[in-house]
Amino acid sequence: MNKKINDELKKYEDIIDLPRHVSPKRPQMPVADRAAQFAPFAAVVGHESAIKEAARLTDEKRDLDEMEKTIINDRLREIDERLPNAVEVEITYFQTDALKEGGKYLVKPGTVKKIDVYQREVQLVDGTNIPIEDLLRVTLV
């Protein structure tokens, strides 16, 4: 192995100890710029984020049967009768994904401020507005 290395070094014996060439016409590149030449780069801008987005999973929105819709409507009516007193609830609802088809189910605890029948949403004290058609479950706490 050492013999092989020595043979390779002998090929360049005449130039190996010469000083590095410095051009008299062109200025030397700063070290920071030279280092930037070897920095990693994304060949296709946005490709990695597109792959991550495609791999991200979403859920389909469930269609509720009539019985489930009736239970939710009864619960909303019960909450509306208790207002303006504080009504603590835990709401499971579907949140549509902004970037791709589908979404995810979230569970949100909170205090109901108002049930807006015109906007068709449940308004919580913390400012969250949940569309009634996205409700999956409403539980009184």
Q: What is the pTM of this model?
A: 0.65
Least confident stretch, 19-23, 37-41, 50-54, 115-119: 37-41
Q: Which residue has the tokens 């009864």?
A: 74
For the residues 94-105, what does the mean pLDDT come to?
Answer: 92
pLDDT digits (tens, 9 = 90+) for 3-49: 887 888 788 888 888 888 888 899 888 888 877 777 776 667 777 88
Residue type, 30: P
Least confident stretch, 28-37, 54-63, 108-117: 28-37
According to DSSP, residue 127 is labeled S
Paired tokens of 1: 């192995």
Instruction: Go through the domains of the chain in sequence order and give each one's CATH number.
Output: 2-55 (no CATH), 66-140 (2.30.30)
What sign results for the dihedral spanned by CA atoms 64, 68, 69, 73?
Answer: negative
Which of residues 20 and 127 earns the better pLDDT score?
127
Alpha-carbon distance of 109 to 86, in angstroms, equals 13
